[in-house]
A = this chain, B = another copy of it.
């Protein structure tokens, strides 16, 4: 029996061309308004490191810089180890099209050992379970949004851009891949960018937006991701500041038993 791969796996599929070079292509399932969804680009650049024969252990930090629009179609990803230590490994990654760099990334991999551990931040309190909420239907949105099952508790996509400025831009949302897929590092990296632009929520008016730089820290190890499997995770996002063409966003991704899986930060360009 032949089973088609999950659309996420199809989207991050890379073919190795030489030692440090891979070939991939955008897919319709993760299309954004122009070019691919930023989260899938994060996942692809991380995947180039994870698929590399020299890879050592699991990701602890990923930074992706969106240097130029990515066109629909084929792209090259180059992943080079910059430094390998006993318990950490640093990578430099570039995504290019027609030999022009469209995105740069750095990835840190790390070996984890059991130590004293303690949470400090806590997940949003009194969240209704995902199973008690309806999947949000968002007609007219780009394809990638339909690649997620989103169940908003607070701060969903505004139903109208009526220009009524809101006091804050916080979102709390249950989210998983659609169709369901067990969580792994690439899908967690992608999920970290699945929040709508904070300016849409805060300002309730349309703006052209584009993430300039995004950083995700992985607090989960592979065992925590396996335990989470394909159930909804809880996302919480907010902005600190909007100023003269740029705003930031900080987000946390929590497991459904309240453990921090990832923290993600980005700075976003906007034009009115």
Chain B CB within 8 A of A206 CB: no
A245 to nearest B CB, angstroms? 5
Chain B CB within 8 A of A252 CB: yes
- A144 surroundings in chain B (CB, below 8 A): none
- A143 surroundings in chain B (CB, below 8 A): none
Chain B CB within 8 A of A101 CB: yes
Which of B88, B118, B241, B252 is the one whose CB lies under 8 Å from A242? B118
A3 to nearest B CB, angstroms? 35
Chain B CB within 8 A of A134 CB: no
- The segment from A25-33, A40-48, A152-160, A261-269 that touches chain B is A261-269
A232 to nearest B CB, angstroms? 20
- A67 surroundings in chain B (CB, below 8 A): 82-83, 85, 88, 90
A46 to nearest B CB, angstroms? 14
- A92 surroundings in chain B (CB, below 8 A): 92, 104
- A169 surroundings in chain B (CB, below 8 A): 120
Chain B CB within 8 A of A203 CB: yes
Interface string of A103-129 (1 = CB under 8 A from B): 010101010111111111100000000
Which of B87, B241, B272 is the one whose CB lies under 8 Å from A116? B272
Check if A120 sits within 8 Å of B90, measured CB to CB: no
Q: If the complex has contacts A106-B65, A212-B60, are A260 and B240 also in contact, measured as CB distance less than 8 A?
A: yes
Chain B CB within 8 A of A130 CB: no
A58 to nearest B CB, angstroms? 11
Check if B215 sits within 8 Å of A108, measured CB to CB: no
Specify which of A83, A100, A119 lies most central, judged by the most chain B CB atoms within 10 Å of its CB.
A83
Check if B246 sits within 8 Å of A112, measured CB to CB: yes
- A165 surroundings in chain B (CB, below 8 A): 118
Chain B CB within 8 A of A63 CB: yes
Which of B82, B104, B117, B241 is the one whose CB lies under 8 Å from A243? B117
| Besides A115-B271, A115-B272, A119-B242, 20 new A-B residue pairs in contact (Cβ under 8 A), listed by A number | A61-B212, A65-B106, A83-B102, A88-B269, A90-B101, A110-B245, A113-B245, A115-B245, A116-B242, A118-B165, A120-B169, A120-B238, A120-B240, A120-B242, A215-B265, A219-B240, A219-B241, A240-B260, A240-B263, A241-B263
